[in-house]
Structure 1
Amino acid sequence: MAYHANLPAPTFDLETWASNYEGPLLPLRLAHVATHCPPLSQQSLDLAITAAKRGKDVLLYNRLYEIAEKLGVSGLEQKDEEWMQRQEEGNKRELARLEGELRGYKNNLIRESIRMGQEDLAMHLLLTGGPLPDPQNPQSATGAGYNAAYQAFGKMRDYCTTPSHVASMTLRLIHTALLQAVATQQTGGAPHLHLNAALANANRLRSVGIKEEEMVRITPIMHVSGGLAHLGAGSYPEAAVAFLSTPFEYASQGVVQGTNATRAIASGNDVAIYGGLCALATMTRDTLNDTVLAGPFRAFLELEPHLRKAISLYTTAKYQACLDTLRRYYSDWSLDVFLGAQASPTAKESHLDRLILRIREKSITAYLSSFAQVSLASLASTFPPLSSDPQAMEDEILSMIEAGMLDARLDVVKGLVIAPQKEARKSAHAAAAAAAEEVERTLLLRLHRVNVTLAGLEIPKAKTGNWSGTGGEGMRLGNGGFP
C-alpha cells in the first residue's frame, strides 16, 4: 500500500470525533485530517482554527492558514490580525511576569515555590508554542517551539520534593514529547528523538516511588504513552504488548496529576484501534484468542466492534472477510495522527499501511499452509492484488518467498504456488533415531555414575551444621559463623 494524501470521507462525523479531544494536540489532529482528506479539508480547518483561537498559540493559528492556502481551501473566515497582535502582546507580558516571579522565588530559595513557578512557566510555553527560533542563530532552534516547554518542564526535577511531584513532571514531559513528535512530523522532520524521550519518561514512571493508589492511576498512562512511542518508531510487537497491558480504567479515569490523557493524548477508542491492529499484525492465532479476544483487552475492543470482528474473522481463518473489514475502515484509521503518519520521512507508506500489509502477508501464509499447491488465479480471487498490474499477485508472492516469510516455490509457467514436499516417513524415522540416541546417552551416563561410586571415586558432599574449632570452641554455621 502507498501513503495516501487523498482519502475519501470517513464513516465518522468530524465534529463528534473532534469533541473527544482537547489541548494543543487537537488542532494538529485536525490539520492532519485537512491534509489527507480533501472532502473534509474546509470543515476540519474551520474546527482547527476555532480550537487554536481558543488557545494562545499564535504561530499555530497562522500555520493553519498557511495549510489552507497550500491546499487551496477557500471560504474560511478572514484571518483575525487584531486577535493575533493582541494575543502575542499578552503572551509576552505573561512570559515576562512568570519569569520575574520565578527569579523572585529563586532568590527566596523556597523549593516548592520555585517548582510551581517553573511549572507555570513551562505550561505557558507549551500553550503558546514557545519562542520563535532566531534566523541568524541555527543553534537557537533547540530552545524554540515546544522544545522550550520540554526543557522548562525538565528543570522542575531539581525542585521536586516528593515522588508525586516527580510523577507529575514526568507526565508533563511525556505529553510534551508526543506533541513535539507530531509537530515535527507534520513539518517534514524526523520524530524519533522525541519518541525516544517519551518512551524513556514512560519507563521512568515505573520507579518514581509514589503510593500504590496513585500508581494504579498512572500505570495506564504509562502503557499508552509507551505504546504510542513504539508505534511511532515502527516497533509494532512492543507497541502491541504495551497497549494490551493497559487497564480498561484508562478510558474513564479523567484527570491524573493535572493531565487528562484520554482527551489530551489518546482516547479509549484509540487504544482499542492501536492495540487491536498491532496485535493482529504481530501475534499468532492462539495468542489473539487467549490474550486479545479472551483477555482484559476485550473490554477496549467492545468500543470498536468492527475491529473485534476483524480479529475474530482472522482467528477463524476467514481471511478475505477480515481484510475486507479492515479495508472498509482504512480511511477512518488513516486520519488518525499517529496511525496515519508516515512510517519514516523517506517512506511511501504510513504505519497503518505497514500494519495492514503485515496482516495480509500473515493471512496469505496461513491460507497457503493448508494446501499442497494453489493457483495464482485462485489466490488472487481470495486476496485481491494491491494494484491493477497483472503481475501484482506473482510479484507479491515472489517477494514474500525471497524475504523468507513464505516457504514455497513459485511455478511461473503453470501459475502455481507449490508448498515444499514433506516426507512424513523420513521425519518419523529421524525423530525415532534422535530419541534412541538420547536414551542411549542417558543410560551411559547412569552406568558411568555407578562405576564411579563402586570404585570409591565419588567426592562426598560438604556437610553443613556444627563443627568444632581448634581452640575447643564450637562454631555454628547456621548462625553465620558467630558463636
Structure 2
Amino acid sequence: MSEVIEQPTHLEFESYINNYTGRTAIDRALFIAEHCRGLQVEAYTWAANEIKKTTHDTEKYSACVKNLNTALQARGKPVVELDQAWIGTTNRENKVNIEQLENELKGSKTLLKENTRDGLNRLGELYHRCGDLANALKSYVRSRDYCSNSEQLLEMCFRVIQVNIDQENFTHVSSYVARAEATPNLPKKDLIQAKLDSCRALVHLHQYEPYNKAADALMGVSFEMNNTFNGVLSANDVAIYGTLCALASYSRQQLRTKVMSNSAFKSYLELEPQMREMIETFYDSKYATCLELLESYRNDFMLDIHLAPHIPKLFKLIREKAMVQYCIPFSTVDLNRMAVAFHTDVTTLQNELTELIGRDHRIAARIDSHQKILYAKKRDQRHRALRQSIQAGIDYEKSNKALMLRLKLLSADMIVK
C-alpha cells in the first residue's frame, strides 16, 4: 500500500470523480478511499451507491460496504446496512441472463455471423457489469472471429483494451493498441489515434518505461478526444500526466517545441492552469516557484490511481533537472544563494549536488565544501571542435559518394522510378 494522505490540498472529491464514467470512476473512488483518511467515508459511500446504480457486481458492493462500515466505526458513526435484497435480486438476474445468452450462443451455428458477434458482445458486457473480467475478456476476444469490417474490429479492440486496463494487464493493452492501429480504413482517425495514444501512455507508465515515452504519447493526443474517453482517462489527466512526464524527461528545447508550441496540448492545459504555470516557470528558470507549486499538489497527485506510484520519482527527477539547468550557465555557483533559490538548506543541497556529480555524472563540477562553492569543470573546447570537424568531414564524404553514385546510375539509366 502506498502513502496514506490525510487530506488533499486542492482536490474536491465530487468534482474530481464526475470527470470519469463506468468502472474507472468506481475504481478511482475506491483508490481515494483506501489512500486518504479525510475523504474515506465520502469516497466509499459514493462508490457503494455507484456500484448499485451502474453495475451488477455484488461482490464489489459487499466489499465496499464492509470497508465503509469499518471507516464509520473508527469514527464512532453508525454503520450502513448491506442491501441484501439488491444482492439477492441481482445475483438471480445475473444467473438467468448469463444462462440465456450462453444458450443462445450454443446454437450459434444456426445464427448469422453478425448475430453471433452481437451475442458475444452482450455476454461480455454482462460479465463486465458483474465484475467477472476474465469471462468478459474471453467473450470479447471470441467476437474477433465474427467481425466483418474495420469498424467492428476496432470496437472489439477497444472492448478488450478496456477490460485489460480494468485488470491492470498492460502487456495485453499494448498488443491490442497495436492491433487497433493496424486496422485498415480507420473511421474518425484523429479521434481514434488520440484514444490509442492515451492508452499507450498508460502502458508506458505501468511498465515503468522512461517518462519521455509517456510524454511523447500524450503530446500526440488530439484535443478532439477531450472528454470522450472518460472510461479510461479524462482530458484533465492528459494535461497532468503529460506535464509531469515532460518536466521529468524533456530537455529545455523539447519543452519549447513539444509542449509550449503544441496547440493541442495547450488546449488541455487550459483545463489545468496550474500545470501550465509549472511548465512556464520551469522554462523561465524560476525553479523555486515551479517546485513550490509542484509540491503543493503532491497530495492530489498521490490520490491518482495511475500516477501515485510514480510521484516520488517524478518529483525527484524534476528537482534534479532544475538543479542541473541552474548550474549550466555558471563557471562557479554559490551554494548559499542556490539554497535560497531552491528553498532548502546548504547541507541538503550539497548532498543532492554531490549525488548528481558523483553517482549520476549529470553535472561536471567539483564542490569546495569549506567555501560552499561549486566549480564547473572546464571542457576541452578545442578537442570538441576537432571531433565535430572530423565528423562533419565524414558526413560530407558520405553525401558526396552518394551523389556520385546517383549520377552514375542516372547516366546508365538505372534509376528505379
TM-score (norm 1): 0.76
For residues 7 and 416 of structure 1, the distance between their equivalents in structure 2, rounded to whole angstroms, comes to: 40
Q: Describe the SS at the equivalent of 1:421.
A: coil
1:413-454 C-alpha deviation (Å, 9 max, x unpaired): 44433321346xxx24773697599889x99xx9xxxxxxxx
The offset of 1:220, in angstroms, is 1.4
For residues 80 and 29 of structure 1, the distance between their equivalents in structure 2, rounded to whole angstroms, comes to: 23
What is the aligned partner in structure 1 of residue 405 from structure 2? none
What is the aligned partner in structure 1 of residue 116 from structure 2? 114
For residues 157 and 314 of structure 1, the distance between their equivalents in structure 2, rounded to whole angstroms, comes to: 47
Larger mean CA deviation between 150-159 and 414-423 belongs to 414-423
For residues 378 and 238 of structure 2, the distance between their equivalents in structure 1, rounded to whole angstroms, comes to: 43
For residues 433 and 220 of structure 1, the distance between their equivalents in structure 2, rounded to whole angstroms, comes to: 42
What is the aligned partner in structure 2 of residue 290 from structure 1? 257
CA 1:479 to 1:163, structure 2 compared with 1: closer, same or farther past 3 Å?
A: closer
Code of the residue aligned with 2:188 in structure 1: it is E
The offset of 1:21, in angstroms, is 1.4
Q: CA RMSD in A?
A: 3.0
Alignment of 1:77-476 (within 5 A): 77-104=80-107, 106-130=108-132, 146-181=133-168, 194-211=169-186, 213-235=187-209, 236-252=211-227, 254=228, 261=229, 263-296=230-263, 297-340=265-308, 350-385=309-344, 391-401=347-357, 402-422=359-379, 427-428=381-382, 431=385, 435=389, 464=412
Does the CA-based 8 Å contact 1:46-1:76 persist in structure 2?
Answer: no
Does the CA-based 8 Å contact 1:251-1:267 persist in structure 2?
Answer: yes
The offset of 1:396, in angstroms, is 2.3
The offset of 1:53, in angstroms, is 1.2
CA 1:382 to 1:290, structure 2 compared with 1: closer, same or farther past 3 Å?
A: same
For residues 225 and 35 of structure 1, the distance between their equivalents in structure 2, rounded to whole angstroms, comes to: 25
1:239-280 C-alpha deviation (Å, 9 max, x unpaired): 11111001001015x4xxxxxx2x211111111111111111
Code of the residue aligned with 2:377 in structure 1: it is P
For residues 389 and 20 of structure 2, the distance between their equivalents in structure 1, rounded to whole angstroms, comes to: 61
TM-score (norm 2): 0.87
Q: Describe the SS at the equivalent of 1:24.
A: helix
1:262-311 C-alpha deviation (Å, 9 max, x unpaired): x2111111111111111111111122112211212111111111100110
For residues 390 and 177 of structure 2, the distance between their equivalents in structure 1, rounded to whole angstroms, comes to: 52
Larger mean CA deviation between 310-319 and 225-234 belongs to 225-234
What is the aligned partner in structure 1 of residue 21 from structure 2? 22
Runs of at least 5 residues in structure 1 that lack an aligned partner in the other structure: 131-145, 182-193, 255-260, 341-349, 447-459, 466-476
Does the CA-based 8 Å contact 2:409-2:415 persist in structure 1?
Answer: no
Does the CA-based 8 Å contact 2:2-2:35 persist in structure 1?
Answer: no
Does the CA-based 8 Å contact 1:154-1:173 persist in structure 2?
Answer: yes
For residues 294 and 478 of structure 1, the distance between their equivalents in structure 2, rounded to whole angstroms, comes to: 41
Code of the residue aligned with 2:353 in structure 1: it is I
What is the aligned partner in structure 2 of residue 187 from structure 1? none
For residues 265 and 461 of structure 1, the distance between their equivalents in structure 2, rounded to whole angstroms, comes to: 54
For residues 438 and 250 of structure 1, the distance between their equivalents in structure 2, rounded to whole angstroms, comes to: 44
Does the CA-based 8 Å contact 2:65-2:80 persist in structure 1?
Answer: no
CA 1:438 to 1:319, structure 2 compared with 1: closer, same or farther past 3 Å?
A: closer
The offset of 1:380, in angstroms, is 2.8
CA 1:249 to 1:75, structure 2 compared with 1: closer, same or farther past 3 Å?
A: farther
For residues 478 and 25 of structure 1, the distance between their equivalents in structure 2, rounded to whole angstroms, comes to: 56
CA 1:464 to 1:8, structure 2 compared with 1: closer, same or farther past 3 Å?
A: same
Runs of at least 5 residues in structure 2 that lack an aligned partner in the other structure: 401-407
What is the aligned partner in structure 1 of residue 404 from structure 2? none
Q: Describe the SS at the equivalent of 2:22.
A: coil
For residues 56 and 420 of structure 1, the distance between their equivalents in structure 2, rounded to whole angstroms, comes to: 65
Q: Describe the SS at the equivalent of 2:34.
A: helix
For residues 31 and 194 of structure 2, the distance between their equivalents in structure 1, rounded to whole angstroms, comes to: 26
Which structure has greater helix proportion? 2
Higher Rg: 1
CA 1:479 to 1:382, structure 2 compared with 1: closer, same or farther past 3 Å?
A: closer
Does the CA-based 8 Å contact 1:58-1:84 persist in structure 2?
Answer: yes
CA 1:16 to 1:75, structure 2 compared with 1: closer, same or farther past 3 Å?
A: farther
Does the CA-based 8 Å contact 1:174-1:198 persist in structure 2?
Answer: yes
Does the CA-based 8 Å contact 2:116-2:146 persist in structure 1?
Answer: yes
For residues 438 and 125 of structure 1, the distance between their equivalents in structure 2, rounded to whole angstroms, comes to: 63
Q: Describe the SS at the equivalent of 2:171.
A: helix
CA 1:76 to 1:47, structure 2 compared with 1: closer, same or farther past 3 Å?
A: farther
CA 1:354 to 1:69, structure 2 compared with 1: closer, same or farther past 3 Å?
A: farther
Larger mean CA deviation between 22-31 and 78-87 belongs to 78-87
CA 1:77 to 1:395, structure 2 compared with 1: closer, same or farther past 3 Å?
A: same
The offset of 1:478, in angstroms, is 10
For residues 171 and 208 of structure 1, the distance between their equivalents in structure 2, rounded to whole angstroms, comes to: 12
The offset of 1:176, in angstroms, is 0.9
Q: Describe the SS at the equivalent of 1:250.
A: coil
The offset of 1:330, in angstroms, is 1.8
What is the aligned partner in structure 2 of residue 31 from structure 1? 30
What is the aligned partner in structure 2 of residue 64 from structure 1? 64
Does the CA-based 8 Å contact 2:28-2:305 persist in structure 1?
Answer: yes
Code of the residue aligned with 1:290 in structure 2: it is T
Q: Describe the SS at the equivalent of 1:417.
A: strand
Q: Describe the SS at the equivalent of 1:247.
A: coil
The offset of 1:8, in angstroms, is 2.3
